[in-house]
Amino acid sequence: MIIVMRTAAQQADIEDVVGRLKQVGLSAHLSGGEERTVIGVIGTHFPEGLRDHLEAIEAVESVTRITRPYKLASREWKDSQTEVKVDGFWVGGSNFVVMAGPCSVESKEQLFTTARGVRASGASVLRGGAFKPRTSPYAFQGLGREGLELLAAAREQTGMPVVTEVLEPGEVSLVAEYADILQIGTRNMQNFPLLKEVGRTDKPVLLKRGLSATIEEWLMAAEYVMAGGNFRVILCERGIRTFETAVRNTLDLSAIPVLKRLTHLPVIVDTSHAAGKRYLVKPLALAAAAVGADGLIIEVHPTPDTAMSDGPQSLTLEDFDDLMGSLQPILSAVGRTLPVPAVLASA
Ligand code: PEP
Ligand code: MN
């Protein structure tokens, strides 16, 4: 429910409304605009007649129900686009944030070579998996804590903030010690204990779309994180399961303009996992930028043929540089620019 206060409302009027909400077990989120205060109301049970009572208050201008099942993530709740701050720049708005790096952190040399290369080509965030969610239990599971330490060392070297996946609620505090952005992978989009746990942190969360999740289910997952108090959610479309076998997943480009209508959260696109094949990564990335995405996340490896995971979809450093060059005219056309991380900007 959204309560819009009149322009003439005083602080005491606002406190009165908030007090009444608390009395019936509801919580209030205030957003003070230049002209008037808007109170968002969250709770599981709205007592009968509450709306009428609120509407009868002199200082209240209007009371509207949020019709969507997700509340905090909806445009009804917040109409202006959310920009998520990461290390001195924002994901969203006029920025186009490119996150790039290997699927898995494999060694210091592999990570540092990739980090330096993608930075030189214009990436703003370094990606790399330390805890890997592999389909086969016999496949490489990631370097774990050692991988996190290497990511932190690469951040020191390059000034790029780091995004990495967290698989389990019990590992959130460990990963949050090292990461600038916590990634929730596609297989965990509806791992509710994990969503609640990252919702208790103050780190930005990169929430990938579930393999077979509808947009509404995805936004409900974002709502879990936000309901815990963490509003710094970045959505990531990474392709969904369809009958098509020519590609690893089907990239749902229409999800981007749909999300722009339904939610204020920024949305980036992972064309690597959508494509599964190197030659598709660039055309899909250009399309994602053209259709209104707020950024990309791309897998890059110095020698993809020797990669311990996702080599066939990983770009070489040269491929990635070519992609970034081709992106420029599209970014100019859509009025976006590549942000520079804080450390680098001041260097
Ligand atoms: C990844 O980013 O390496 C990954 C495993 O992605 P997804 O969860 O989208 O499959
Ligand atoms: Mn991967």
Report which ligand 1 atom has the smallest distance to the Cα of 238.
Answer: 9
pLDDT (0 to 100) of residue 72: 93
User: What is the average pLDDT across 65-85?
Assistant: 93
C-alpha 132 – ligand 2 centre gap (Å): 8
- Name the residue with the closest Cα to ligand 1, atom 10: 186
Spatial separation of the C-alpha atoms in residues 279 and 114, rounded to whole Å: 19
pLDDT (0 to 100) of residue 33: 72
C-alpha 266 – ligand 2 centre gap (Å): 22
Spatial separation of the C-alpha atoms in residues 109 and 303, rounded to whole Å: 12
Report which ligand 1 atom has the smallest distance to the Cα of 297.
Answer: 2
- Name the residue with the closest Cα to ligand 1, atom 4: 185
User: What is the average pLDDT across 51-75?
Assistant: 94
Give the torsion through C-alpha atoms of 305, 126, 224, 254, to 10 deg: -70
pLDDT (0 to 100) of residue 88: 85
**283 phi, psi to nearest 5 deg:** -60, -35
**111 phi, psi to nearest 5 deg:** -70, -45
Q: What residues does ligand 1 touch, defined as CB less than 6 Å away?
A: 103, 129, 133, 185-186, 208, 238, 270, 273
Cβ count near 66 (within 10 Å) = 17
Cβ count near 63 (within 10 Å) = 20
For residue 239, the ligand closest to its alpha carbon is 1
Report which ligand 1 atom has the smallest distance to the Cα of 239.
Answer: 9
C-alpha 142 – ligand 2 centre gap (Å): 11
pLDDT (0 to 100) of residue 345: 67
Share of residues in the chain with pLDDT > 70 (%): 99
> On the CB side of 307, how many CA atoms lie within 13 Å of its CA?
24
Please, which pLDDT band fits residue 211 given cuts at 50, 70 and 90?
Answer: very high
- Name the residue with the closest Cα to ligand 1, atom 6: 185
Report residue 311 CA to chain centroid gap.
24
Contacts of residue 209, defined as CB under 8 A and 6 or more positions apart, other chains included, come to 186, 189, 218, 235, 236, 237, 238, 240, 252, 255
On average, the pLDDT of the chain sits at 95
C-alpha 135 – ligand 1 centre gap (Å): 11
Residue pLDDT, tens place only, 283-313: 999 999 999 999 999 999 999 999 999 999 9
Report which ligand 1 atom has the smallest distance to the Cα of 186.
Answer: 8
Report the predicted TM-score, pTM, of the whole model to 2 decimal places. Answer: 0.94
